[in-house]
Amino acid sequence: MPEHLSIKELEGTESKMIRRVIKGFVKNEIVPVRQEIDDDKDHKIVNSIMEKLMVGGPGFGKLMLSGASEDIMASPAFIGALEELAAGDSGIAVALGCTGWCLAPILFEPYRREDLIKEFSENIFSEKKLNMGCFAMTEPEGGCDIENPRMEGKKIHTRAELDDDEWVINGSKQWPTNSGVSSLYLTVCTTDPDLGDDGIAMIYVPYPIKGMSFSEFENKAGMAADRNCTIYYDDVRVPKRYRAAGPGDDAKLLHQNLVFGSIGSAAMSVGAAQNVFDIVTDYATRRIVAGKPIKEHSINAGILADMAIGIETARTYTLCVAKMFGDPKTYGHRWSDEMIAKARIAKVYAADMAVMVTNKAIELMGSWGYVRDADVEKHWRDIKETQIWLGGQQLGRLDIARYFCKLKML
Ligand SMILES: Cc1cc2nc3c(=O)[nH]c(=O)nc-3n(C[C@H](O)[C@H](O)[C@H](O)COP(=O)(O)OP(=O)(O)OC[C@H]3O[C@@H](n4cnc5c(N)ncnc54)[C@H](O)[C@@H]3O)c2cc1C
């Protein structure tokens, strides 16, 4: 694809270098095996890919906890890496992205925690084996009400109580990416739901630990490289210092993570859509119908043009918001209503666009689009999830309307 001036300006040299490395990784390590991932029930293939990504090769595990972590993670460079990974497999992208999501609150200023970064990098992420992180927010009673800034944490049921210098956690979480396979769980709790935002407590729980257990893994339509289950906390005790910041500040960190997650989700939608666009364009060039290539019929050229409009718009806007997220001195707090609304625009638009692109690509490819060999149906199943998670498209649109139209509704 030709490179555009706007993308060059948004991304910079470092980001382009990371994209190149990940592109090569996807081509060599993911694409050759991606059709097997849905049947990889014990995650042998997935773990081997994740090990190469996190521990060897691009070495994301070390990078996330390095001194330069904020510069890389809170920037278009990390977002570009997620886009490229999702072009290979969205489940792999989300497994890596959510490890970063778990760590982000202690990596980014002004709440950077050198003590916890040192402790976790020495005790958890230092071993020469795969370690993942999980950001556990959703509960069996619901996800959106916890992600809805207007609910101010009043619908969080997982309780954290201070007992001397330890937090005692009781409750359960459902669905988080990397649940049941992580070494560190950032758990969204409340010290008292009546306190609203001041009650929100973001507490790190290393695993294994007494009192923490898991259900069976969920059997999903797609995103097979991502593990999801229910997590049970039964008098789980962790040191007081494992709370990310403190009353009021943890609510800001929760909102900041919603912004970060929404930008990452948008990038994954763009990556999957781009890969499908490349596949369908190639097919529509080679396959002849009514005497000429599929793409040379104006009725189909219009569909391909709509795909290109969606991908280009979503990528450019997502990188713009990623750039704003990386520069709070210029653009303000990462947890502001403006940042929430703009990250939601990126997420909602890119998710709807990717579902449209994958859906229409199957139509243009006829029955060949519907078989596993073509890789399009896999992206279609995988990427549907980007409309569902992070509060779904409805809460996303509400957050946008709240900022731009001054809505009052919850
Ligand atoms: C593959 C996968 C990965 C996931 N990863 C994570 C993760 O890493 N961490 C995590 O904590 N969770 C994760 N989740 C959970 C996911 O974020 C939630 O399922 C999602 O936010 C929706 O919550 P819910 O399913 O409880 O739906 P509900 O909260 O019950 O919402 C149902 C519907 O109501 C709509 N809605 C919500 N609020 C409003 C409102 N105010 N007004 C009108 N309509 C509204 C929603 O858009 C949705 O359509 C993951 C789920 C999957 C399947």
Q: Is the dihedral of CA 319, 350, 136, 252 positive or negative?
A: positive
pLDDT value, residue 7:
64
pLDDT class for 2, splitting at 50, 70, 90?
very low
pLDDT tens-digit map of 182-208: 999 999 999 999 999 999 999 999 999
Q: Which amino acid residue places its CA nearest to atom 33 of ligand 1?
A: 392
133-242, what's its fold? Butyryl-CoA Dehydrogenase, subunit A; domain 2 (2.40.110)
Cα 214 to ligand 1 centroid, rounded to whole Å: 20
- Region 23-48: what's the mean pLDDT? 96
Task: Look at residue 8 in the predicted model and tell me its pLDDT.
Answer: 66
Distance 261 CA to ligand 1 centre (A): 13
361-377 tens-digit pLDDT:
999 999 999 999 999 99
- Answer whether residue 6 shows pLDDT above 60: no
The CB density around residue 194, as the number of other CB atoms within 10 Å, is: 9
CA 359 to chain centre: 22
Q: What is the pLDDT of residues 94-120, one digit of tens each?
A: 999 999 999 999 999 999 999 999 999
List, for residues 297-310, the tens digit of each pLDDT value.
Answer: 999 999 999 999 99
Residue 21 burial (CB count, 10 A): 14
Mutate to test the pocket of ligand 1, among 184, 395, 407, 409 (most ligand atoms within 8 A of CB): 395
* Poorest-pLDDT segment among 55-64, 98-107, 392-401: 55-64
CA distance 158 to 150: 18
Average pLDDT value over all residues in the chain:
94
The Cα-based distances of 193 to 105, 117, 154, 204, 268 in angstroms read: 21, 29, 5, 19, 33
CB 295 within 8 A of CB 304: yes
Predicted local confidence at residue 11, as pLDDT: 79
353 pLDDT higher than 80: yes
pLDDT of 149 > 90? The answer is yes
Distance CA 139, CA 175 (A): 8
Superfamily of segment(s) 249-405: Butyryl-CoA Dehydrogenase, subunit A, domain 3 (1.20.140.10)
Tens of pLDDT, residue by residue over 379-390, are 999 999 999 999
Residue nearest to atom 39 of ligand 1 (CA): 395
Amino acid at position 123, single letter: N
Residues with CB under 6 A from ligand 1: 98, 135-138, 142-144, 147-148, 175-177, 223, 226, 228, 385, 388-392, 394-395, 398, 410
* Contact between residue 309 and residue 250 where contact means Cβ atoms under 8 Å apart: no
Res 334: pLDDT: 97
Which atom of ligand 1 lies closest to the CA of 392? 47
Measured between alpha carbons, how far is 184 from 206 in angstroms, rounded to an integer?
Answer: 4
Ligand 1 centroid to 394 CA: how many Å?
A: 10
| Position 47 pLDDT exceeds 90 | yes
The mean pLDDT of 166-191, rounded to a whole number, is: 98
Q: State the pLDDT confidence band at 410, using cuts at 50, 70 and 90.
A: confident
185 Cα: distance to centroid of ligand 1 (angstroms):
19
Q: Provide the whole-model pTM.
A: 0.96
Q: For ligand 1, atom 13, which residue shows the shortest CA distance?
A: 176
* pLDDT of 1: 42
Q: How far is the centre of ligand 1, averaged over its atoms, from the C-alpha of 265 (Å)?
A: 13
Percent of the chain exceeding pLDDT 90 equals 86
- Is it true that domain 5-123 has CATH number 1.10.540.10? yes
Q: 208 — phi, psi (to 5°)?
A: -75, 150
Ligand 1 center–CA 139 separation, angstroms: 9
| 392 CA → ligand 1 middle, Å | 6
**Angle at Cα 274 formed by Cα 342 and Cα 57, nearest 5°?**
95
Q: Collect all residues with Cβ–Cβ distance below 8 Å to 198 and sequence separation of at least 6.
A: 247, 248, 251
What ranges do the domains of the chain cover?
5-123, 133-242, 249-405
Tokens of 299: 């009725």
